[in-house]
Amino acid sequence: MGSKPDDDYDYLFKVVLIGDSGVGKSNLLSRFTRNEFCLESKSTIGVEFATRSLPIDGKTIKAQIWDTAGQERYRAITSAYYRGAVGALLVYDITKTVTFENVERWLKELRDHADANIVIMLVGNKSDLRHLRAVSTEEAAAFCEKEGLSFIETSALESTNVELSFKQILEEIYGIVSKNRMASEEGPSASVPKGNTIAITPGGGDDSSSASKSKSKCCS
């Protein structure tokens, strides 16, 4: 394939960024992948893509991140991208209660369209706006405990916990994948062709690779 060095990786994980419009999904992504933040970045239309590699446990993990548009009208388009995703960062804005209240609807979206074993992390963004906080850390943490989600608060603006949030979810995915791999040496992660994502269920690789390899699915 003639890969450049930074194209080398041991694992490729597809992760989606979801959540209400304006909570800062695109800025979390640009902070993580390019260390950039833009106060007035344009709204995401449909789905946008970025990538970054991280070392975890001596392995190179490449995160392929799909940043989705938050507006409800786009759900039909964006939910198609959940397929094959092994992780989801579900983002809300700590200064906007409604974006936290909508988290349940987003979880339902994931249940309806994503792999049942997808790793979900709830991300309370804009933690720099302390004086405007409307959702307490405790409330969100309690919710996550109940739902079995990981939880973190971030500030894409101040670059707080952004790296950590991605790192944690990738570690969690890696943990599951490597456990699966030990359980089944013939599992899908034993040999992953480039361009394909890994499924987190043993033997579930077919679905995810067909998602990224499928042809002529413009109207699916």
Partner 1 sequence: MHSGATRNMPRVVASGRLVAGSAAVAASPSPALGGVPSSDAMEEAQGAHAGLTSDASLGGESSHVSPSESRRAFGGGAGSAEPSDSTGLGSDQLTQAGGVDGATGEGAARNQMTDFEKSRLAKFEKLLNTDVVDMNALKALSWNGVPHSLRPTCWRLMTGYAPAKAVRRDAALERKRQDYRDYVSELWQISDEDRTEEERKTFHQVLIDAPRTAPECPLFRDEETVQLALRRMLYIRAARNPASGYVQGLNDVATPFMLIFYGEQVAAAQEARGVPHQRDWYAGSLEQAQATLASLSEEALLTAEADAYWSLCALLDGVQDHYTAAQPGIQRLVYRVRELCFRVDAPCCHHIEDNGLEFLQFAFRWANCLLLREVPPICAFRLFDTFLAEGSHGLPSFLSYCCAALLLNFSKQVLEMEFQDMVMFLQNLPTQDWKENEMSMLLSQAYLFQAMFSGAS
Q: Among candidates 173, 207, 147, 145, which has minimal Cα distance to 65?
A: 173
If one asks whether residue 55 binds partner 1 (CB under 8 A), the answer comes out as no
If one asks whether residue 208 binds partner 1 (CB under 8 A), the answer comes out as no
**56-90 as b/e: b if 16+ CB within 10 A:** beeeebbbbbbbbbbeeebbeebbebbbbbbbbbb
Among 10, 60, 71, 160, binds partner 1 (CB under 8 A): 71
If one asks whether residue 60 binds partner 1 (CB under 8 A), the answer comes out as no
Hey, which residues does 66 pair with through a beta bridge? Answer: 16, 49
Interface size with partner 1, residues (CB under 8 A): 37
Per CB under 8 A, the segment of 126-134, 151-159, 184-192, 193-201 that binds partner 1 is 193-201
State the maximum Cα–Cα separation within the chain, in Å, rounded to a whole number. 53
If one asks whether residue 131 binds partner 1 (CB under 8 A), the answer comes out as no
CB 18 within 8 A of CB 90: yes
Token pair 């899908």 in the structure block, residue: 188
If one asks whether residue 214 binds partner 1 (CB under 8 A), the answer comes out as yes
In angstroms, the CA 117 to CA 62 distance is: 19
Among 72, 139, 145, 206, binds partner 1 (CB under 8 A): 72
Instruction: In angstroms, give the least distance from the CB of 156 to partner 1.
Output: 14
If one asks whether residue 129 binds partner 1 (CB under 8 A), the answer comes out as no
Binding residues vs partner 1 (CB under 8 A):
1, 7, 21-22, 38, 40-51, 64, 69, 71-74, 76-77, 80, 194-196, 212-219
